[in-house]
């Protein structure tokens, strides 16, 4: 039983958290690709930007002595999402839209987004310094839930932190929200139509400029959410999400570029696989030791933790070989 608890704590929960972050980031990447046909490399830094905006607001409230039953960063997340959405639209209007209007190729757009990456990171370092910050350094404490497993014969509890629980709930709400938006609303359907066939969307009289605007607002809001939750779970650094942009892009590609559902599935798939790949299987296999002809090593993981990033690429390569359009047959052209 304790082995199972260990597996849940280190495998399932860890995978779910990473998966949630990848999924929320991936949805933004995939929608931006769908409507504008370019890989938005700066999306990770938009997540970081959102996290710092949350940090700023939460810090200010904390300094004013505001105390809430949930972490402040969570309570103010809607404000941070709105601000990041506006910032994302500002970046689009100042950098990407002028290039697109002049007929820039996708690769030019990609390079422009690398420029935006450097700019956002530089700005964050300029304002906040390059050190690591923690939401829970001050008055706030990270509450930890221990779910006892004694009734199932276990001795160790399942450990969950409050930010983790809130993160699962928030991601679930966001995913349902995105689903309802894309499947029910007129604009959401137009967004899917543009991802499916941009020329036909234009011919149908769909206001493509408005769809692009909404795409950036949605992508920015989800990025802020992912960034804030990631920084609550670990800590806040200027390169917080830059380090995970590659698995996030992989999530979007694996799911099928242009498909929001694909990005969610791809994100969770990559998150779980990463967690299980670095999971120490010895801990789970130890009860079987008497039946095994060899001694279990102290650490039996598929890949060492420092090579975690390769997992996303293995999945990416396999997907591109077996099903080049991704799980949900996205628009890969």
Partner 1 sequence: MPIIEVKDVVGGYGGAPILNGVNIAIEQSDIGVIVGPNGAGKSTTLKAIFGLLKITGGSVVFDGEEITNALPDRLVPRGLSFVPQEKNVFTTMSVEENLEMGAFIRRDDISGTLEEIYTMFPVLKEKRRQPAGELSGGQRQMVAMGRALMSKPKLLMLDEPSAGLSPRYVLEIFEHIVTVNKAGVGILMVEQNARQALAFASRGFVLAQGKNRFTGTGPELIADPEVAKSFLGG
Interface residues with partner 1 (CB under 8 A) are 186, 189-190, 192-193, 196-197, 199-208, 259, 329
Min dist CB 206 to partner 1, Å, is 5
Q: What is the DSSP letter of 92?
A: I
Helices vs strands, H then E, count in the chain: 15, 2
Nearer to partner 1, 151 or 184 (CB): 184
Our measurement of the distance from residue 265's CA atom to the centroid of its chain's CA atoms, rounded to an integer in Å, reads 12
Element (H, E) at 219: helix 208-233
Nearer to partner 1, 94 or 207 (CB): 207
Nearer to partner 1, 29 or 193 (CB): 193
How far is Cα 229 from Cα 34, in angstroms, rounded to an integer? 25
The residue ranges of DSSP E strands in 64-115, in sequence order, are none
- Structure tokens of 224? 């802020």
Min dist CB 258 to partner 1, Å, is 8
Longest dimension (CA), the chain: 70
Nearer to partner 1, 10 or 192 (CB): 192
The residue ranges of DSSP E strands in the chain, in sequence order, are 144-147, 158-161
Min dist CB 167 to partner 1, Å, is 30
Nearer to partner 1, 213 or 235 (CB): 213
Residues 6+ apart with CB under 8 A from 202: 208
Task: Find the DSSP H helices in 92-185.
Answer: 97-101, 106-128, 162-184
Nearer to partner 1, 32 or 201 (CB): 201
Question: DSSP 3-state assignment of 290?
Answer: helix
Nearer to partner 1, 54 or 259 (CB): 259
Min dist CB 31 to partner 1, Å, is 14
Question: DSSP 3-state assignment of 69?
Answer: coil
Helices 260-277 & 162-184, crossing angle to 10 degrees? 150
């Amino acid at each position: 039983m304790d082995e199972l608890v260990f597996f849940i704590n280190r495998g399932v929960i860890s995978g779910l958290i990473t998966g949630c972050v990848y999924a929320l980031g991936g949805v933004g990447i995939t929608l931006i690709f769908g409507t504008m046909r370019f890989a938005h490399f700066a999306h990770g830094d938009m997540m970081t930007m959102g996290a710092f905006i949350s940090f700023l607001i939460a810090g200010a409230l904390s300094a004013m002595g505001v105390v809430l039953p949930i972490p402040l960063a969570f309570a103010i997340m809607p404000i941070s999402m709105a601000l990041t959405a506006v910032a994302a639209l500002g970046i689009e209007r100042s950098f990407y839209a002028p290039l697109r209007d002049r007929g820039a190729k996708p690769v030019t757009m990609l390079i422009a987004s690398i420029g935006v990456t450097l700019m956002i990171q530089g700005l964050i370092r300029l304002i906040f310094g390059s050190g690591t910050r923690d939401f829970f350094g001050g008055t706030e404490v990270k509450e930890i839930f221990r779910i006892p497993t004694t009734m199932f014969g276990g001795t160790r509890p399942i450990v969950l932190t409050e930010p983790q629980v809130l993160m699962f709930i928030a991601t679930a709400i966001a995913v349902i929200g995105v689903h309802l938006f894309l499947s029910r609303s007129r604009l959401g359907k137009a967004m899917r139509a543009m991802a499916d066939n941009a020329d036909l969307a234009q011919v149908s009289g769909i206001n493509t400029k408005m769809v692009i605007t909404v795409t950036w607002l949605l992508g920015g809001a989800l990025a802020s959410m992912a960034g804030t939750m990631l920084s609550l779970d670990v800590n806040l650094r200027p390169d917080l999400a830059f380090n995970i942009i590659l698995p996030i892009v992989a999530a979007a590609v694996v799911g099928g570029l242009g498909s929001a559902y694909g990005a969610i599935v791809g994100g969770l798939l990559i998150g779980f696989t990463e967690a299980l790949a670095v999971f120490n299987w010895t801990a789970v296999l130890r009860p079987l030791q008497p039946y095994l002809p060899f001694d279990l090593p102290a650490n039996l993981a598929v890949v060492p933790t420092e090579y975690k990033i390769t997992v996303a690429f293995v999945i990416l390569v396999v997907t591109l070989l077996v099903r080049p359009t991704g799980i949900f047959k996205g628009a890969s052209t």
